[in-house]
């Protein structure tokens, strides 16, 4: 089972607030509603891979 780390980036301010593991085979990009410290509210966070 291959897993990799991905960052969750806020769609409104662009901050990378969370890092999580994800299985690499046959999965879609993560999209979760998480808390953003800068905006002080819950926003949509999308997966972005750290370069």
User: Tens-of-pLDDT digits for all 51 residues of the chain?
Assistant: 788 889 999 999 999 999 999 888 877 888 999 999 999 999 999 998 765
Q: What pLDDT is stored for residue 14 in this prediction? A: 92
CA 17 to centroid of chain Cα atoms: 8
Distances (CA, A) of 22 to 10, 13, 31, 35: 18, 23, 12, 19
Q: What pLDDT is stored for residue 46 in this prediction? A: 95
* CATH assignment at residue 38: 2.20.28.120
- What's the domain range around 32? 3-48
CA distance 39 to 30: 21
In the chain, the number of structural domains is 1
Report field, pTM of the whole predicted structure over 0.85:
no
């Amino acid at each position: 089972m291959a897993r990799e780390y991905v960052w969750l980036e806020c769609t409104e301010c662009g901050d990378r607030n969370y890092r999580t593991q994800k299985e690499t085979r046959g999965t879609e990009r993560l999209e979760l509603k998480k808390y953003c410290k800068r905006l002080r509210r819950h926003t949509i966070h999308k997966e972005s891979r750290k370069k």
